[in-house]
A and B are shown apart, each in its own frame.
Chain A
């Protein structure tokens, strides 16, 4: 069975999302019931490279750098297509940067960054993401809740 989704004139398509993470991507994009644009979420479709994958197609939003960084936390290697005038004007892979700046709040309630206004910073390390202030390590999912 194939699923057809109508094309968008202006917006973003996020492809190659790890299967099951599509809903989280929608949450990062801040899609709520008030959103009036067209949104398609396709889950668990067959992918040559990944076996199964999710795809999100969204009208009216051109995903910026910071949002792409946030998406990289849960969907590393997703591909991002920016559509303008019905044409893909930008196509790139979402790559987790070495340092995430201003992307997420530190979940540690004793961290100074929860009290003082400052751009949050997380260093990407092998074990997880280390807050530049309190130096605690978190898993990507912890930063998104």
Chain B
């Protein structure tokens, strides 16, 4: 049997994603009841780049399934002594049943999956992909809204550098949402991905530089970092414009939801956290059932 990996959202069909969602629903129940599906599997988190949430939620998800999570920080290991990436993968592959990997180089997870005999899950490869984040985002939308098709989704912020936004756009296209991309000049989404999504799914995509939430069902915010601007005054101006102020929300639909990959700094002021629109903490919690569903699937689980 061919081993299952999760490397890119591009590898998944709509059916597979829907299956993962119904599995995640079951995992929510299992996490509550304490039902375990494995007792002899080791999940190895190989994070070459710092991460708190993704690393911890993969460990928590593994533990909830009954697996033993092991986290490894290569900065203090043999990698520093000059071991090649492929050697590290070969060694780790011999220690565990699934590798969860984050690495700064794009394509590193795909490369690892070709070397490893065990399944590999991509937890972020540079600016390329972070498929479980996209699954969490889509799951959260479909859970709260009951659907994705036909929804008006606004992606707001630095769309050029945010890896999460690129694969989310792909996922939204696949599920038939209409997307508005709102970004400051110079931080717009890569046209290659816009064209790809339009071409593949016939998605309606609107581009704008001004936040206007009037028709939005979902607002997805990501941070505009001031380091991206040469002029500090310009940076402050743009940051202010792209901060989700309560006044913006006055024009929004009553049931519009706000999502954010977190950590958020100041792009969403604290008072918005208390509003009925704020769903980003719920979104973060969905990381557990989704990652449980993914681990369960690649490990070939049964009985869910």
The interface of chain A, by Cβ under 8 A from chain B, is: 106, 108, 110-113, 115-116, 118, 126-127, 131-137
Contact = CB atoms under 8 A, between A and B. Distances in A.
B72 interface: no
Contact of A131 (B104, B107, B196): B107
A112 B129 contact: no
B10 interface: yes
A113 B126 CA distance: 13
B273 interface: no
Contact of B111 (A108, A110, A112, A127): A112
Contacts of B105: 110-112, 115
Interface string B84-119: 111000000000000000011111101100100000
Contacts of B114: 118
A134 to B, nearest CB: 4
Contacts of A108: 106
A141 to B, nearest CB: 16
Interface size on B, as a range, is: 20 to 34
A127 B196 contact: yes
B8 interface: yes
Contacts of B128: 134-136
B192 A137 contact: yes
B86 A133 contact: no
B85 A112 contact: yes
Residue among B10, B107, B110, B111 with most chain A CB within 10 A: B107
Nearest to B111: A112
B195 interface: yes
Given A110-B127, A137-B192, A126 B107 contact: no
Nearest to B108: A112
B107 A135 contact: yes
A126 B106 contact: no
Given A111-B107, A112-B85, 17 more contacts: A106-B107, A108-B106, A111-B106, A112-B103, A112-B107, A112-B110, A112-B111, A112-B125, A118-B114, A126-B199, A127-B199, A133-B108, A134-B106, A134-B125, A134-B126, A135-B106, A135-B128
A113 B85 CA distance: 11
A116 B109 CA distance: 12
A108 B243 CA distance: 33
Contact of A133 (B85, B106, B196, B199): B106
Nearest to A113: B107
Contacts of B10: 135
Contact of B106 (A112, A118, A127, A137): A112
B178 to A, nearest CB: 22
Given A134-B107, A137-B192, A116 B84 contact: yes
